Amino acid sequence: MAYVASAPKEPFRLSMLVYDTRYRSYTIQIVVLFLFLAFLAWLLNNTIENLAAKDKDINFSFLFQRAGYDIDQQLIPYTNDSTHGRALFVGLFNTLIVAFFGCILATIIGVFAGVLRLSGNWVVARLMTLYVETFRNIPLLLWIILAFVIFSETAPAPRDFRVTDEMVAAGEAPSAHKILFDSIAFTNRGMNIPRPYLDHPLGSINVLDVPINLSGLAVLALIAIGMWVNGRLLGHAKAVQEETGIRPVTWWKSLVVLFVPVIVLLFALGLHWEIPELKGFNFQGGINVAHSFTALLIAISLYTGAFIAEAVRAGILAISRGQTEAAFALGLRPGRTMRLVILPQALRVIIPPLISQYLNLTKNTTLGMAISYLDLKGTLGGITLNQTGRELECMLLMMAIYLVLSLIIASGMNVFNTAMKLKER
């Protein structure tokens, strides 16, 4: 310390602001701050001037005006008399539903492909390599458009399903059939799937102008209760196993707890299915799923699945070979080794890239606009923007929504990540 104290104390000179590392960082930051503020002021000034030149203002009241356009797929009630704000939410829900099912499907595909790519089976490993490389190296947009074009151009027209009296008399069959026990009609206009229908529904209540189906809510509640009871059951079984070494049989109890109440409730409510039927020139009844939804979902799941497969493969390869050998030495079979020893450890490596793949998938749903899928980009950033001419407001609002969405997904997955992390002492 004596050396520091005895160092000659230099008087402050202006040039020290540049040459002395103690002060230089302040100089740089102040210069950058000024440049940044000047840049912001320049942008703001330009925006104000441009808006004035076009005689526009920044105003979000268009969200409460009549939208005047139709949206095919709507998860909340919407007509063309609804407001632009409601169209925004219809679009947002359309984005979310593709993202939700896409994440689930892509994870299933990805985990299977990643594990199988490492399997000792030569044929399967090669096929999976082919799948991963093909999907990873070709743009997602191509897969989406190709799926859509194939669905809508190769599927049979509704009239191909028609059975006329002459055909019955001649013993001929129509050129197209409904699939899956005669329940799903896959035509070039879309896919009609059966709709669940209740004889004695519990009715619905309106919250913020959105009807909430009480029957559905009851079913969900029963499932949640069943899962909670099942969790208690398994916890008890584990406690007994740890105490006595013998695990009580639980599988039939789990089945009863999980399924019987729901089935009883559905029976009491009088569930039956409304099967789509050919009436006139198209299929009536059931739920009509547009090809744009199916194509987008399938393409995006297969594409992201290839990336998840790579993440899974990298995660498994990151676990040292000794773990597998130790598990084999304990007498575990390959399947159980994978499930009980490798995957739980690999999961910690896999989750961070998985998070970014989920985020990518959610953001990639915007590509649905190439096949006119009306998601958030299609409603708020597409038709609403074009109708109202409010580019600035629509784009900023849309970016903000996507940002919030990304942040929610990222933080949710980060919680999961922390929970799965190795608890080190």
Q: Is 335 among the residues that bind another protein (CB under 8 A)?
A: yes
CB of 194 to another protein, least distance (A): 29
Whose CA is closest to 185, among 155, 142, 214, 209? 155
Which residues partner with 190 through β-bridges? 187
Task: Say if residues 86 and 370 touch (Cβ distance below 8 Å).
Answer: no
Q: Which is nearer to another protein, 98 or 275 (CB)?
A: 98
DSSP state of 184: B
Whose CA is closest to 90, among 366, 321, 378? 378
3-state secondary structure of 191: strand
Question: Residues 37, 41, 75, 124: which binds another protein (CB under 8 A)?
Answer: 124
Q: Is 14 among the residues that bind another protein (CB under 8 A)?
A: no
Q: Which is nearer to another protein, 147 or 346 (CB)?
A: 147
Q: Which is nearer to another protein, 32 or 330 (CB)?
A: 32
Question: Residues 149, 212, 268, 330: which binds another protein (CB under 8 A)?
Answer: 149
Site residues for another protein, 88-117, by CB under 8 A, read 116
How far apart are alpha carbons 354 and 297 in whole angstroms? 18
Dihedral, 363, 367, 369, 372 alpha carbons, nearest 10: -120
Question: Residues 86, 178, 291, 377: which binds another protein (CB under 8 A)?
Answer: 377
Q: Is 412 among the residues that bind another protein (CB under 8 A)?
A: no
Site residues for another protein, 229-248, by CB under 8 A, read none
CB of 395 to another protein, least distance (A): 5
Q: Which is nearer to another protein, 111 or 222 (CB)?
A: 111
Q: Which is nearer to another protein, 278 or 383 (CB)?
A: 383
How far apart are alpha carbons 368 and 145 in whole angstroms? 9
From residue 22 to residue 41, what is the string marking binding to another protein with x (rule CB under 8 A)? --xx--xx--xx--x-----
CB of 321 to another protein, least distance (A): 15
How far apart are alpha carbons 76 and 347 in whole angstroms? 36
Q: Is 207 among the residues that bind another protein (CB under 8 A)?
A: no
Site residues for another protein, 154-193, by CB under 8 A, read none
Q: Which is nearer to another protein, 184 or 314 (CB)?
A: 314
Residue 361 Cα distances to 138, 164, 252, 286, 307, angstroms: 16, 46, 38, 29, 10
Q: Is 51 among the residues that bind another protein (CB under 8 A)?
A: yes
Question: Residues 239, 407, 411, 414: which binds another protein (CB under 8 A)?
Answer: 407
Q: Is 122 among the residues that bind another protein (CB under 8 A)?
A: yes
- Binding residues for another protein, how many (CB under 8 A)? 59
Give, in degrees to the nearest 5, the angle at Cα 302 between 142 and 298. Answer: 75
Whose CA is closest to 56, among 379, 384, 393, 381? 393
85-108: b (≥16 Cβ within 10 Å) or e: ebbbbbbbbbbbbbbeebbebbbe
- Enumerate the H helices of 75-139 as residue ranges: 84-117, 122-136
CB of 36 to another protein, least distance (A): 7
Single out the segment in contact with another protein by CB under 8 A; choices: 60-68, 171-179, 255-263, 403-411: 403-411
Q: Is 62 among the residues that bind another protein (CB under 8 A)?
A: no
Task: Tell me the helix, strand and coil percentages in the chain, rounded to 5.
Answer: 70, 10, 25
How far apart are alpha carbons 254 and 155 in whole angstroms? 42
CB of 128 to another protein, least distance (A): 9
- Contact residues toward another protein (CB under 8 A) are 18-19, 24-25, 28-29, 32-33, 36, 43, 46-47, 49-51, 53, 116, 119-124, 127, 133-134, 136-142, 145-146, 149-150, 153, 334-335, 359, 363-364, 366-367, 369-370, 377, 381, 385, 391-392, 395, 398-399, 402-403, 406-407
